[in-house]
Amino acid sequence: MPTNQSLEQHLKRYLYLMVFILLTLCILLTISWDLDWFASISILLPLVTLTVLAALKSYRLVTDVLDRFGLQLDALANNESNSWHLAKYQGGRITSLKADFNKLSNKIAKNKRHYIQTEEFVFEFVGMLDLPIVILDPHGLVYFTNQAFLNSLTTPDVAGLTANNLGLIYNQGMWQQHDDSCFEQRFHISSQIFWRAGRSYELLTLFSIEQQLRSNEQQVWQRLIRVLNHEVRNSLTPIYSMSQSLQIMKQQGQISNAPDLASDMLQVIEKRAQHLLDFVASYSAFSQLPAANKQAVTTEQINLRLHALFPQLVIQATEPQHFNVDLGQLEQALINLIKNAFEAGGRSAPTLSWQQHKDKVVIKLLDNGTGITNPENLFVPFYSTKAQGAGIGLVISRELIRNQGGQLQLLANPEGQGTRVLVTLPR
């Protein structure tokens, strides 16, 4: 049965027993030989002394080996694989023990190298993801972030900050984003705890709620537009074709050239059919937006093209900036936005300027027109405040900018009447 006694207590017990047995034998011998007390002491004292000294030496040797064994384990725990604290023992079981220690040390070193390589790969992989990720240390401080996480913040530096400083709070077993957080948009947060060097770390992954809503919204409108495109085209194409055929027949004399109501009606049908076909074609572009073909461009290059199209546009000169973008799609979006700015009316021409914010390029367009009258319907397809508006310009502009990985915002002009348009693009 297991006992609560230590190894030292067991050793002392056996040593005491050995001395007791030897002393008993010596006493019995002296009695059987009928020796006097002086002779008995002369025989017993050296024997007992030598026995006790041998027992103490054996005890110290055993405890010394145990102490050295403990030091060897400490050295192994501290990655000191080159030290051997049992070097004074060159043979026997200690030698085989040293071989076992070397095997264990090599295996631990191999596992540690594998762990370091795996950790480096994981951190490098996380750094390459476009998904915002942050790792918190056991004290809740920011330990590691990828570039996507930094790009999602309004503050440029996160060194020494806690999750609470960034606006992330832990409530009812889950992480949530505070209303006054340092993030530019809303996120759903997923957390995962892992251990590193015996300490608990927490990995937070941020999933954009707005991006998911945008994707769902775009899919819905694309489906709707595809249906409209199919149905309207199927109805208009034969009408347009028949009206053209009738006009040709009239020109060739197959139908009387005398002005009549039927001729006027045919012209109206032809014009309205052509108008509706053009109308559907403009919406069709929204549902068939190609992938962005990004190339290196400069702000000066874009300014020259815009100035050629809108000579009255006021472009504030700044230091040229270089970034990657699909020039055709960005130019189309800016043309729509600048055209809206001019059509909004105002005492002076709209102003366009460029700014740099961390790894992003910001285009600011200001006008002093009538301003935003109904902000809830700004990006609703088919909605327009213009008499002849199709209600698709802003929607297409936003999708063209999102296609570059950017963002379009329309806000009230803080400096007075009018609208402020912000286009944010990655560099």
- For the stretch 84-135, pLDDT in tens is 766 677 767 777 777 777 788 788 778 878 877 877 887 888 888 888 899 8
> Do 224 and 203 fall within a single domain?
no
Instruction: Label residue 51 by pLDDT band (50, 70, 90).
Output: confident
> Do 387 and 302 fall within a single domain?
yes
Nearest alpha carbon to residue 127 among 163, 153, 151: 151
8 Å CB contact between 345 and 369: yes
- pLDDT given for residue 194 in this prediction: 83
Instruction: Label residue 383 by pLDDT band (50, 70, 90).
Output: very low
Does 149 have pLDDT greater than 80? yes
Rounded Cα distance between 397 and 393, Å, is: 6
Q: Which residue has the higher pLDDT, 362 or 17?
A: 362
Query: Could you tell me the CATH number of the domain that includes residue 367?
Result: 3.30.565.10
| pTM of structure | 0.44
Domain span at residue 316? 295-426
> Do 143 and 38 fall within a single domain?
no
Instruction: Label residue 423 by pLDDT band (50, 70, 90).
Output: very high
Q: Is residue 202 part of a domain?
A: yes
Looking at 113-186, which runs of residues are DSSP E strands?
A: 133-136, 142-145, 168-171, 174-177
Out of 190-199, 227-236, 341-350, which region has the weakest mean confidence (pLDDT)?
A: 227-236
Measured CA angle at 196 (ends 83, 170), to 5 deg: 155
- pLDDT given for residue 85 in this prediction: 67
- How much of the chain, in percent, has pLDDT values that exceed 90? 3
Q: Is residue 110 part of a domain?
A: no
- How much of the chain, in percent, has pLDDT values that exceed 70? 69
- Read off the pLDDT of residues 279-333 as tens digits, 9 standing for 90 and up: 566 556 555 667 788 899 998 888 888 888 888 889 887 788 889 998 888 888 8
- Read off the pLDDT of residues 274-290 as tens digits, 9 standing for 90 and up: 666 665 665 565 556 67
DSSP assignment string, 135-154: EE-TTSBEEEE-HHHHHTBS
Does 338 have pLDDT greater than 80? yes
- Among residues 167, 186, 211, the one where a domain terminates is 211
Cα torsion for 98, 102, 105, 107, to the nearest 10°? -130
Q: Which residue has the higher pLDDT, 64 or 161?
A: 161
Radius of gyration of the chain (CA): 44
- pLDDT given for residue 210 in this prediction: 65
Does 46 have pLDDT greater than 70? yes
Instruction: Label residue 353 by pLDDT band (50, 70, 90).
Output: very high
Nearest alpha carbon to residue 292 among 425, 175, 382: 425
Q: Which residue has the higher pLDDT, 198 or 215?
A: 198
Q: Is residue 229 part of a domain?
A: yes
> Do 194 and 150 fall within a single domain?
yes
Instruction: Label residue 65 by pLDDT band (50, 70, 90).
Output: confident
Q: How many structural domains comprise the chain? A: 4
- Read off the pLDDT of residues 121-147 as tens digits, 9 standing for 90 and up: 878 888 888 888 998 998 889 888 888
> Do 318 and 394 fall within a single domain?
yes
Q: Is residue 238 part of a domain?
A: yes
Q: Is residue 33 part of a domain?
A: yes
- pLDDT given for residue 369 in this prediction: 80
Round the average pLDDT of the chain to a whole number and report it. Answer: 76
Q: Is residue 312 part of a domain?
A: yes
- Among residues 287, 317, 346, the one where a domain terminates is 287
The tokens of 47 are what? Answer: 């024997």
> Do 160 and 205 fall within a single domain?
yes
> Do 314 and 410 fall within a single domain?
yes
Instruction: Label residue 1 by pLDDT band (50, 70, 90).
Output: very low
Q: Is residue 102 part of a domain?
A: no
8 Å CB contact between 207 and 195: no
Q: Which residue has the higher pLDDT, 218 or 126?
A: 126
- Read off the pLDDT of residues 258-278 as tens digits, 9 standing for 90 and up: 555 556 656 666 666 666 666
Does 348 have pLDDT greater than 50? yes
Does 218 have pLDDT greater than 70? no
Q: Is residue 168 part of a domain?
A: yes
